[in-house]
Structure 1
Amino acid sequence: MERTVNVFATRVPAPRRVPYKDSFVYRYVEKTVHQALVQKLARLVSGLHAARLLLEAGFVQEQAALQRILDEITEDISFLSFSVIFGESTPLHKKYLDDFFQEEFDPSDAVASSKDRAMVPRKKVRAYLDRCVNGPKGSSKNLDASRTVSKSYSGYVHAASPQIMDMYGGFPPEFKMRGMHGTERQAEHRADLWNYFYRGIVAFCLAAKAFGDEELFISIRNFEDAFLRETSNDYQSNEWPYE
């Protein structure tokens, strides 16, 4: 994945130094869809590395919160890729890119945010993806499943009570605040993380298509097939503890 991001990065105009206060920052000044894809893919790989490290240390609450971020990143990569693959950049895609590249701070004032950050509603992104996969009418069942997953992981982000109570247990019961290494919860979250690696592979497949690299697309698809054969049971990690 890292090598592929670096390859894609050479195929778009490189970031430039842009003056910022008494120094500079790097920015993609052209603000193209492919530049956005490079950035999203880079953050996806970084997030997968971080989630794996959190898991190995037993910090599964924090891992799950990060997976909520990865949910949106993989959706965004699909959203942007499909617009190129199908050649149908819509006003929704334009607004998404405008919002994505918007600067957070006024260079003359590093404390105050320059303006409110607008965002394309997540439900519109998911509805577009649903139509791409299931046709013009979409599938309410798939949308409901996406919302359910999102809500579940949001509980880890916002520290909701049911998710926090996953930290409680042992003999005597107590809150495990230094990670849950060696517990049943860690085993569950290890199996759960499989899905994010798989979805990451799929995201790279779509990005290769969007970059017009059919050879790379086929190579990643073959890797995806091998990954499934070696690690999964009906699109679920074969390490799931309750098989």
Structure 2
Amino acid sequence: MTESTPYEQALDYMERIVSVFSMCVPAPKRVAFRHSFVYRYVEKTVHQALVQKLARMVSSLHAAKLLLEAGFVQEQASLQRILDEITEDVSFLAFSVINAESTPSHEQYLENFFQEEFDPAEESASSTNRAMVPRKKIRAYLDRCASGTKNSSKNLDTSRTVSKAYSGYVHAASPQIMDMYGGVTRGFFMRGMHGTIRQAEHRADFWNYMYRGIMACCYAAKAFGDEELFVSIREYEAGFLKATSTNFQSNDWSAARVDRYT
């Protein structure tokens, strides 16, 4: 049997944590929907929202890892743009519990989050309006939690920069598409970029999302009031850092520092 990698171990670990959290909230119930039913969290609590966000986070990390291994790094980067928002949302919700300060933005977020996409009484495919909390408000709240002062731009600038860069992969902007171009034949890599420097770069970058996933679980444990699990995750985080990085930089960057396709 092949020994699992630190990333595979971390994903298994995060899955177990989400399962623990899911047992701490009222379970989803069958809700009538048109001629059948759907499962829903009918209580619509912040902790139920955290469970759902974390479940989608781990699923997306699995998917991004598969795309990376196959060389589809443009698609991997698109998923990482989604993961940026998911991890921000987890922190946004978790800190509202940790700091005992549910703001109108938190209340609006939960209302929008649990809102149904389709009217179960209607047969049409038109969706309902969903007034989302502006991303800049979520990031400003997280910045205040991190900096302890208002009007700080220390973390906001970084968040905006990362968001804009990865939005280019989601919306297929020209500079990001041109990352697919090159090689001996000078063409577009349309069956993945396996074995190229681009894959090496995105492999190194993927470490950030794995680490942030672990930290999201850590914040959630604090929000659930599970101090023992919180300490356990922090210990796991320390081991993950030691095994995979140096000074919060992926060890894979050494293989990615090449200025040409290999």
TM-score range (shorter-chain normalised) is over 0.9
Cα deviations across residues 182-201 of structure 1 (Å, max 9, x unaligned)?
A: 10000000000000000000
Partner of 2:203: 190
Matches within 5 A, 1:87-166: 87-166=100-179
Equivalent in the alignment of 1:43: 56
Equivalent residue number for residue 16 of structure 2 = 3
User: 1:136 offset after TM fit, Å?
Assistant: 2.8
- Spell out the pairing of 1:13-92 with structure 2 (5 A cutoff): 13-92=26-105
Identity score, percent: 75
Comparing 170-179 with 226-235, greater Cα deviation is found at 226-235
How far has the Cα of 1:242 moved from its partner? Answer: 2.1
Number of residues paired by the alignment?
A: 243
2:3 aligns with none
> What is the TM-score of this pair, normalised by structure 1?
0.98
DSSP-derived class of the 1:106 partner: coil
Partner Cα separation in structure 2 for residue 34 and residue 141 of structure 1: 29
1:242 aligns with 2:257: yes
Partners of 2:28 and 2:180 in 1: how far apart?
43
Q: CA deviation at 1:234?
A: 1.5
Paired amino acid for 2:157: D
Render the CA deviation track for 1:142-174: whole Å, top value 9, x for unaligned: 211110100000000000000000000111101
Partner Cα distance (1:186, 1:135) in 2: 38
Q: Which amino acid aligns with 2:32?
A: P
Alignment gaps of 5+ in structure 1: none
Name the amino acid aligned to 1:242: R
Structure 2 residue matching 1:125: 3-state secondary structure: helix
1:83 partner letter: S
TM-score, normalising length: structure 2: 0.91
Structure-1 separation of matches of 2:184 and 2:233: 46
Displacement, 1:73? 0.2
Write the distance in 2 (CA, Å) between the matches of 1:81 and 1:156.
28
> Could you tell me which amino acid in structure 1 is paired with residue 30 of structure 2?
R
**What's the offset of the Cα at 1:96?**
0.3
Distance of 2:122 and 2:247 partners within structure 1: 53
Across the aligned residues of Structure 1 and Structure 2, the Cα RMSD in angstroms comes to 1.1
Deviates more, 1:106-115 or 1:67-76: 106-115
Secondary structure of the corresponding residue to residue 131 of structure 1: helix
Which residue number corresponds to residue 240 of structure 2?
A: 227
CA distance, structure 1, for counterparts of residue 171 and residue 59 of structure 2: 22
1:137 Cα shift?
A: 1.7
State the 1:91 CA deviation.
0.7
Query: Using the alignment, how far apart are the partners of 2:257 and 2:174 within structure 1?
Result: 24
Distance 1:155 1:111, change over 3 A: farther
Specify whether residues 215 and 231 from structure 1 end up closer, same or farther in structure 2 by C-alpha distance, changes over 3 A only: same
